[in-house]
Amino acid sequence: MKIGFDAKRLYMNSSGLGNYSRNLVTNMNKLFPANEYVLFTPHLNQKQKSFCENPFVNVLPNGFLNRTFPSKWRSNSIISQINEQKLDVFHGLSNELPYTIADFKGKKIVTIHDLIFIRFPEYYSAFDRANYRKKVTSACNLADVIIAISHQTKNDLIEFLKVDSAKIRVVYQSCEEVFWNYKTVQDLSVFTQNNLPENFILYVGTVEPRKNLLQLVNALPSVDMPLVVVGRVKSAYGKKVTDAIETLKLNNKVHFVQNVSNNQLASLYAKAKCLVYPSSFEGFGLPVLEAMVCGCPVITGKNSSLVEVGGNAVSYVENLNNVDEIVSEINRLLVSSSLQEEQTKAGFLRSMEFTTEEWIKNTISLYV
């Protein structure tokens, strides 16, 4: 089988959709090496060197106009090069397909991660909301099969965009191999480089209103444990977080860490007393899975896909607007070593429902 991927995010995004794309393509090639994999991208990024070389075929824009206007190439004129490759399948990995993909005779697949731009319009400009809606709607109309990364995303597609449920298949993703192998690939340099405490609770994710880091910071005065934050704070919301830390005199209790490798992140999960992930909505919630894989107990919001990932293996906060409830859940877990051990075991058992092999097998079955 010859499979083409929209690989822009694979090459250009360092997290999120980029991680999903790299993880899927890497493991598909590993588990099904007899297939041929073609990566369509407006640019090559040498940081992703393994994808720039064999066995992958890279297709870049041809001609002056396509190289000058790569977004137009991805949306429209890419179709001529897709057809030249004589693919069996073309898979859009990040919420979109070329508007001209109907002229491709092979199977057309798109992965939809979430519709957060519809659920939380206040976090997006009017232009971005209109652009994302146009791309997702078109991709869902043109695709033969739509992969939703959770039942939450499937339900949102049906509710907000009236997508035919018969076209949608829920395929849970997995996390990168480094987390599954965390015991052998740990990189403890992150602790010495950042002067981190031995005992800590952990937050992983972008610093934006939906993730509720500010609520977690407000809970810290009532929690006898420092916090390590893995995420960039350079935003208006990040300024609110740092201002709150200053006001509450928590400067020595909150440690910000950036530019963390996956090996280092695996080490943070493995050493943390728990991950606190107080997000109010997720399309999947990858940090919850990564933490469970690495034996780290989890406290998260009881909403969206987070309950799909965590199941009965994590602790939930019902009302994320209630700081006292966040405090209560953290302290309940921290004071009980038996509860921590119980969640560690339950979390790893739960994570086995999201193995890489299962993810890739379920995805490639849709290509046939």
Distances in Å between the Cα of 247 and the Cα atoms of 46, 180, 210, 250 are 43, 39, 22, 8
First-to-last alpha carbon distance for the chain, in angstroms, is 9
pLDDT, tens digit, 9 for 90 and up, residues 294-313: 999 999 999 999 999 999 99
State the pLDDT at residue 232: 84
Q: What percent of the chain has pLDDT over 90?
A: 95
Count CA atoms closer than 13 A to 156's CA, side-chain side: 26
Rounded to two decimals, the pTM is 0.95
CATH number corresponding to 177-353: 3.40.50.2000
Same fold across 2-171 and 177-353? yes
Domain segments of the chain as ranges: 2-171, 177-353
Is the pLDDT assigned to residue 233 strictly greater than 90? no
**Architecture, CATH, for domain 2-171:** 3-Layer(aba) Sandwich (3.40)
State both tokens at 287: 């940090």
pLDDT-based confidence at residue 166 (cuts at 50, 70, 90): very high
